[in-house]
Amino acid sequence: MDLLTLSALELSAKIHAGETTVREALDAAYRAIELEEPRIHAFVSLCKEDAYAKAQAVQERLDAGEELSPLAGVPIAVKDNICTKGVRTTCGSRMLEGFVPTYNAHVVDLLESAGLVILGKTNMDEFAMGSTTETSALADTRNPVDPERVPGGSSGGSAAAVAAGEVRLALGSDTGGSIRQPSAFCGVTGLKPTYGSVSRYGLVAYASSLDQIGPIGKNAADCAALYAILRGKDQRDATSMPAYDAEQNAPYIAEHMNAVHCSKTPDEFVSAVKDYSLAGKKIGIPREFFGEGLQEDVAARVREAAAALESLGAQIEEFDLPVAKYAVPAYYIIACAEACSNLSRYDGIKYGYSSPDAEDLRSVYINSRSQGFGMEVKRRIMLGNFVLSSGYYDSYYKKALQVKRLVQDALTAAFERYDMVLGPVYPTTALRRGEGLSDPLKLYLGDIYTVMVNLAGLPALSLPCGADADGLPVGLQLIGKPFGEGELLGAGNKLQITINN
Amino acid sequence: MEVTRDLVLYLEKLARIELSEGERETTQRDLQDILTYMNTLGELDTNGVEPLSHAFPVANVTREDIVAASREPAQVLANAPNRKGNCFRVPKTVE
């Protein structure tokens, strides 16, 4: 039996049925890693010893008849900005190259209790700042479809590991597109959940008001199962919200929760997602998403997917979203402002890199930060300092927060007419290596379709929908209402079945 | 808005970062490009628009006030680059 061709849900079903074991699944994954890693470099660290010990524990719990989850026994990769107790967590930075957390992120505890086995940590842009994974100080991750192309970023290692078949599932994080864009570049499925639906406890902070952890997988159904395990309230993240009990939430949130979301267990959530029908659903396409700069092949593939959604019963309609062009500048102002505050904790004293050639306290700070951070991180910290500084605060930071409200208002108005919004994930397919590094502004502009979602706190799904003339994957994006993950995954699942046939 | 060398030096000071001369020149140019682009926000009339910080109107999130153990000193210090006993060690700060 070739374990690697199964989906995550199918693999776990075989483990549950006793047709294979957790250990065999892990063996197969490590064999694939050994084969692919010299070409892909998706991982920063592997934790074999720990993984085999955990695998045995999961097998024992399953053998004892314990009900874990529909993904029990499945090996998973975790982005290297999510804390794993005893396994180093580098954020792709020299600053944290030797950092070994003494606690688990909430999502890591959830994975463990659901019986998933973490086999390693994946490469990423330094502190999640970048969209090619090239700003990582630790590894040079390649796109499995074409190793001369980047995997996208910042969760490039996670997307590449799934695309290369090293794992079926991975965790990523998304502040401005960091799950969706690498998923599109590598041809896999990624979900950026509603802000607050997954706890950020133990996620190394980049821009706290925008960061969310989410699943990357081979298909929408696998992502649905993983998302259902990850979601929910955690006391240690005050912005997290109860997942399925609408009554426990503030009235505004409760009113947005719907039948698909309120399904309780991961099993129930997955069946609700699979039962979802597109008949009569209304999908809006912003005209601005098909403007200048969009690669022709990408536009064509997304239009074809829209036609496929129509054939599944949905009604497609175009609408105007003029605020779209202001989302990128607002996003970078807010993200950098929060980053400069969050990254002030790296002082060379409490943890992380400490410069050996410091003489006084001031030079411990300055030398450690100057030597420990890469150029993109320095640039964003300095930009953040600028937009928050006296004299510029109102015209940049405050202005950006006002634009954030305009973006949210415009999308809220759209969702009064539509069940979801469809568009591309990125203007082009995977960039060539080195192409984006020389011109940071050009790279920022590429985030035009993704950052709006983070500003408005909405969920969005990135789904492969064919290839361009060079055979590189094209991704489409479905944006949903707050807590509309169930609908997005349901629509994605139906569309994926149609596309694959 | 002109990004001068002095502005870059000022931002380095605020950020506790020191750039090399080469990095400083590139940064001056990149920040100029980026800020010029960010100024497009000026086209948008935001008079009377209330700034939005948190995406959803949830406020005053509280939890039960229950006494719980905090982290052990050994855990807190486990990643310290320089320590002495249960303290972080830094260069002498008072002459």
Helix axes A220-230, A266-275, angle to 10 degrees: 140
Instruction: Determine which helix (DSSP H) or strand (DSSP E) holds A79, and give its type and residue range.
Output: strand A75-79
Query: How many angstroms away from the CA of A4 is the closest CA of chain B?
Result: 38
Candidates A150, A120, A163, A154; CA nearest to A136 is A154
Query: How many angstroms away from the CA of A152 is the closest CA of chain B?
Result: 21
Which tokens sit at A409? 């208002």
Structure confidence at residue A264 as a pLDDT band (50, 70, 90): confident
Which chain A residues are within 8 Å of B54, Cβ to Cβ? 209, 239
Please, are residues A367 and B93 in contact by the beta-carbon 8 Å criterion? no
Interval A31-54: pLDDT, tens: 999 999 999 999 999 999 999 999
Which chain A residues are within 8 Å of B7, Cβ to Cβ? 386
Q: SS3 of A439, please? A: coil
Query: How many angstroms away from the CA of A214 is the closest CA of chain B?
Result: 18
Task: Please name the member of A351, A361, A400 whose beta carbon is closest to the beta carbon of B80.
Answer: A351
The percent of residues in chain A predicted with pLDDT above 90, rounded, is 91
The interface predicted TM-score (ipTM) is 0.96
Look at residue A451 in the predicted model and tell me its pLDDT. 98
Which chain A residues are within 8 Å of B81, Cβ to Cβ? 348-349, 351-354
Query: How many angstroms away from the CA of B67 is the closest CA of chain A?
Result: 14
Candidates A118, A137, A112, A194; CA nearest to A353 is A137
Structure confidence at residue A170 as a pLDDT band (50, 70, 90): very high
Interface test with A, best of B2, B6, B16, B31 (most A CBs within 10 A): B16
Task: Please name the member of A235, A326, A353 whose beta carbon is closest to the beta carbon of B40.
Answer: A326
Top pLDDT among A6 and A253 is at A6
Q: In CATH, what class is A3-280+478-500? A: alpha beta
Look at residue A256 in the predicted model and tell me its pLDDT. 66
**Contact B90/A349, CB-based, under 8 Å?**
yes
**Residue ranges per domain, chain A?**
3-280+478-500
Look at residue B56 in the predicted model and tell me its pLDDT. 85
Within A349-483, strands assigned E span 420-424, 460-467, 473-480
Which chain A residues are within 8 Å of B18, Cβ to Cβ? 366-367, 370
d(CA A422, CA A420) in angstroms, rounded, equals 7
Tell whether the model's pLDDT for residue A271 goes beyond 80. Answer: yes
Interface test with A, best of B7, B8, B9, B17 (most A CBs within 10 A): B17
Which chain B residues are within 8 Å of A385, Cβ to Cβ? 11, 14-15
**Contact A370/B17, CB-based, under 8 Å?**
yes
Task: Please name the member of A239, A359, A382 whose beta carbon is closest to the beta carbon of B27.
Answer: A382
Candidates A214, A226, A147, A228; CA nearest to A183 is A214
Which chain B residues are within 8 Å of A344, Cβ to Cβ? 16
Structure confidence at residue A97 as a pLDDT band (50, 70, 90): very high
**Contact A366/B17, CB-based, under 8 Å?**
yes
Residue of A nearest to B74 (CA): A102
**Contact B49/A386, CB-based, under 8 Å?**
no
A to B CB pairs, distance under 8 Å:
169
**Residue ranges per domain, chain B?**
5-42
Q: Which residues of A are catalytic?
A: 79, 154, 178
Q: In CATH, what class is B5-42? A: mainly alpha
Tell me which DSSP letter residue B4 carries: -
Candidates A42, A41, A6, A36; CA nearest to A24 is A6
Mean local confidence (pLDDT), A301-330: 97
Query: How many angstroms away from the CA of B21 is the closest CA of chain A?
Result: 13
Look at residue A436 in the predicted model and tell me its pLDDT. 83
> Given its phi and psi angles, is residue A84 left (phi above 0), alpha (psi -120 to 50 degrees) or beta?
beta
B83-84/B87-88 β-pairing:
antiparallel
**Contact B31/A382, CB-based, under 8 Å?**
yes
Query: How many angstroms away from the CA of A369 is the closest CA of chain B?
Result: 6
Tell whether the model's pLDDT for residue A421 goes beyond 90. Answer: yes
d(CA A334, CA A321) in angstroms, rounded, equals 21
Mean local confidence (pLDDT), A164-188: 98
**Contact A370/B18, CB-based, under 8 Å?**
yes
Structure confidence at residue B94 as a pLDDT band (50, 70, 90): confident
d(CA A95, CA A100) in angstroms, rounded, equals 12
**Contact A351/B57, CB-based, under 8 Å?**
no
Tell me which DSSP letter residue A95 carries: G
Tell whether the model's pLDDT for residue A1 goes beyond 60. Answer: no
Structure confidence at residue A250 as a pLDDT band (50, 70, 90): low
Tell whether the model's pLDDT for residue A458 goes beyond 60. Answer: yes
Structure confidence at residue A363 as a pLDDT band (50, 70, 90): very high
**Contact B31/A99, CB-based, under 8 Å?**
no
Q: Which of A185-189, A262-266, A469-473 has the lowest mean pLDDT?
A: A262-266
Interval A202-225: pLDDT, tens: 999 999 999 999 999 999 999 999
**Contact B51/A401, CB-based, under 8 Å?**
yes
